[in-house]
Amino acid sequence: MGIVVNDSQNLFMLQTRSNSYAFGIDNQGLVRHLYWGSRINAMEDFEMPELAEVSTNDPVYEITKEEFPVYGGLRYKEHCLKVTFADGTRDVAYEYVNYEIQKNEQCEELVIILKDKHYALVMELHYKIYEAYDLMERFVVLKNESTEVMQIEKLHSGQFHVPYEGLNFRNVHGHWGAEQQKFVQKVDYGKIIFENRRGISSHNHNPYFILDQDATETTGNVYFGALRMTGNFSGAVEQTQYGETLVQMGINTHDFTWDLKPGESFASPEILCGYSADGFQTMSHNLHQFANDFLLREGLRPVLYNSWEATGFDVTVQEQKKLADAKEAEYAADSTKESSETFAGCELTGVEMKETTLTLTLKGNVKKAVFKNYKILKQEGYLLGAKWLKEEAYAAEGGKEYHILLRKSNGTLGYLTIFAEQLTILK
C-alpha cells in the first residue's frame, strides 16, 4: 500500500518500493515533516511530539520542520508561499482541514487540504506516489474562494528536509559551446541560491538538485528532485542550525506576480523527487525508467531541424527549403539501398504497426527500419526473435516491394514481403 494514514493522530506515511516519507499535523496545526529515507513498514514508529517555543530566538515556526512554510509569523527561513490579499495583508495563517486519497493505474495521490484562518484561500498539498519507480511527485494548488482578487507573489512547489549536514550539492552550469558542466559545492551554513531567469531551462543552470553524503555510483545516501517546468525557476539549499539541510524549488519570483481571481485556481509545477541508499546509479535508473514510461512520446520522435551549422545567422526561407529538400533526397536515396550487408545478422526485436507506418526494431547494424504507406503482402510465421538473412527490393507502382528472408527463432526459414512507398533506415 502506497499511502498509510493514522487518522487518530493525523499522521501520513507514503511508501514506495524501498523508501518511506512521513509527515503529520502537529499541536500547532502545522504540517510537520517527520521522515524521508529507507523504507519503514511500521506506522507506529512515528509520533508527533508537541512543540513549544524555546525562547524568542527559537520560536515554534523556526524549530518546526514545515512541509510548506508560508510567509507570516516568526519565520526566518525561506518560505514557499507569499500572497497579498485584497486589503493589503500578506501574512498567511493556515489550518488543517482534511485529506483525500485518489488512485489510478499509474499512481496513488494524497491531497492535504489547508485553509487560511482569516481569508478564503485554500491550499492543497499534492503528493503522488509512483511506488514501482521509488519516486514521489509534489505540487501545490491554490484556490481563491473569496469574492476579491488575491495576488500571488511567490510560489515554490514544496520544501524538503534532509536529515544531514555537510552535504554535497550537485548541479550543472555552462555557456554556449560549453554546456552542462558538472559542479559540486559543499553545503555549509548560509544559503545556496540556484536559478534561471532566461524564460527557459537552459545550459546556465538546470531545475534540479542532488544532495549526497560523498556518494559513489553504487554507495551512499542520495536525495534528489527535478522541477517539471521550462520557465524561470529558482531553488534554495540551506543548512540550518538544527542539524538538517532544507531545499525547495519552484517559480522564480523575478518579474512574477499572478492575480488569482475569485473562483480560480493556480497550480505550481511538479517536483519529481526520490531517495537512494545505493548511490547515483539507483537514482539515474529510477529517473530514466520514469522518463521512458511517462514523459517520452511513443514511436518515432519528430526531427529537430537546426539551421545553424549550415547558415549561421544568414537565414532565408528559400535557402532553408533548398537544404531541407537536399537532405530529404539524400535520406530517401540512402533508404532504398539494397544492401544485404546492412541488415545481415540483425535480430528482429519489435514490430509497431500504425495506420501509415510500419516500424521494425532491430538489434545489430540497424536499429530501426521504417516503412511508409505500407502493406504487408506476405508473412510466414512469428517475427519476433527472427534473424534477418537477406532482402531484395523490386520496383512496383507507387513504391517498392521488399522481400525479406528470415530465420525464425525455431530455426525454420520464412519470408516477410512488404510494399512501401519509402523505407527509412535508422542506424
Number of domains the chain is built from:
3
Is residue 263 located within the same domain as residue 395?
no
Both 286 and 350 in a single domain?
no
Q: Are residues 71 and 10 in the same domain?
A: yes
Does residue 214 sit in the same domain as residue 226?
yes
Residues 126 and 226 in one domain: yes
Per-residue confidence in pLDDT tens, the chain, 427 aa: 689 999 999 999 999 999 999 999 998 899 999 999 999 988 888 888 888 877 778 888 888 899 999 999 888 889 999 999 999 999 999 999 999 999 988 899 999 999 999 999 999 999 999 999 999 999 999 999 999 999 999 999 999 999 999 999 999 888 877 888 889 999 999 899 999 998 877 677 889 999 999 999 999 999 999 999 988 999 999 999 888 999 999 999 999 999 999 999 999 999 999 999 999 999 999 999 999 898 887 776 677 777 877 788 888 888 888 777 776 665 555 544 444 457 878 999 999 988 899 999 998 888 889 999 999 998 887 788 899 888 888 888 889 999 888 888 877 888 899 999 999 888 7
Shared domain for 180 and 329, answered yes or no, is: no
* Same domain, yes or no: 365 and 254: no
Locus of grid cell 538538517: 244
Cα 134 to Cα 276: distance, rounded to the nearest angstrom: 9
296 CB contacts (<8 Å, ≥6 apart)?
none
Domain extent for 193:
3-295
Q: Are residues 131 and 194 in the same domain?
A: yes
Query: pLDDT value at position 333?
Result: 52
Q: Which helix or strand (DSSP H or E) is residue 317 part of?
A: helix 317-335
- Specify the pLDDT at position 338: 43
- Return the amino acid letter for 234: S
Alpha carbon of residue 276 to chain centroid: 16
Helices (H) and strands (E) counted in the chain, each on its own, are 5, 26
Cα separation, 344 vs 390, in Å, equals 6
39 lies in the same domain as 119: yes
Can you point out the beta strands (E) in 18-118? Answer: 19-25, 31-38, 81-84, 94-103, 108-116
User: What pLDDT, on the 0 to 100 scale, is given for residue 329?
Assistant: 60
Is the Cα dihedral 272, 278, 280, 284 positive or negative? negative
Q: Are 68 and 141 within one domain?
A: yes
Q: Are residues 309 and 326 in the same domain?
A: yes
Q: Both 323 and 344 in a single domain?
A: no
Q: Among the three residues 295, 318, 348, which one is the final residue of a domain in this structure? A: 295
